Amino acid sequence: MARDHLDRARGYLASHDVDALLLLRPENRRYVTGFTGTAGLALVTRDDAFLAVDFRYYEQAELQAPGCRVLRGGTDPPGALAEALRGRNVRRIGFEAEFVPYAQVERLREKLAPADLVPLSDVDRLRWVKDPEEIAAVTRAAEIAEAAFAFILGALRPGVRERDVALELEVFMRRAGAERIAFDSVVASGPRSALPHGRATDRGVEEGDLVTLDFGAVYEGYTSDITRTVVVGEATARQRELYALVWEAHERALAATRAGATTREVDAAGRAVIDAAGYGDAFGHALGHGIGLDVHEGPPLSPRDETVLEPGMVVTIEPGIYIPGWGGIRIEDDVVVTADGCRVLTRAPAELVTVPR
């Protein structure tokens, strides 16, 4: 897989008028080289690929990045990279403008002179279209999250603390094969469910509460991201009404998700349902985002983005309604874009679940 990704990076060079691409963002570095360490510099030219690492990662880099020349940089990997480039015709080096801090850019300019460092804003796009192996990893991460949701329904009851629910979710996912959780799990109950990213607290769940659960697993580096909202006890008429509204927005957005559609069009398909019901101001975030090596990557499904969806892109569909003082409802699934639609990867029940008290 890394070899194909290395070739994709070389194709990127040709379209951006640079002689080399410097990768420091861990997700991009891993994508192109296969190296999973937390530090190092990867540089790709039309003919070569270098991976400069410090003492901690010599053996790991050799094992994981067979397509690269590993540079043993001691305490100065940038210096080792500069030495390897000496005498080569590398004049323009593109770097990840939205990731590398200004101070680090200045240090790299000094090390890599006389080459010119060129800021590039779209390097992450290399990762947006997934190959079958990547989709398989996301699918497995989704399966782990689905199993965790089925498990946690048995733990939800009046009096249980949000923090304990989050812990049970996370332990289950690790035991089920996740290498780690994708992000801090959201468990928000009662009025707190109106917080789109409400982290778990010591609040005890009460009978009649809406409980929003937003969580994900990581498998072989790839993430899942799922949200379900349930009711503990009997659901009220208003809870059922607003849940049905979010469900309809979710289904309309899924129906609009296909290769050739723009991200703005998919967002609009779901948003129109909520707007028409008079709750537009209660849906203040984008409809979704890409997932992969990072749980929040491109493309964004928002009113301000015009990316054309391509087969192999993996995105979330997550409409919601959030009413301060009352609560919130969100339904989120991970889907892979296909030529004629999309395939849902997260198959946990999305209809309203009421948990026996």
The mean-pLDDT minimum among 119-133, 226-240, 246-260, 343-357 falls in: 343-357
Phi and psi at residue 178, to the nearest 5°: -70, 135
Dist CA 110 CA 116 (whole Å): 10
pLDDT tens, residue by residue, 235-278: 999 999 999 999 999 999 999 999 999 999 999 999 999 999 99
291-295: average pLDDT: 98
| Single pTM value for the model | 0.95
Dist CA 229 CA 187 (whole Å): 10
Dist CA 317 CA 167 (whole Å): 25
Nearest CA-CA partner of 315 in 146, 43, 129: 129
Both tokens assigned to 79:
């210096």
What domains sit in the chain, N to C, each tagged with a CATH number?
A: 2-126 (3.40.350.10), 132-355 (3.90.230.10)
Cβ 186 vs Cβ 197: under 8 Å: yes
Average confidence score pLDDT of the chain: 96
Dist CA 151 CA 147 (whole Å): 6
| pLDDT at residue 1 is higher than 60 | no
pLDDT tens, residue by residue, 84-116: 999 898 999 999 999 999 999 999 999 999 999
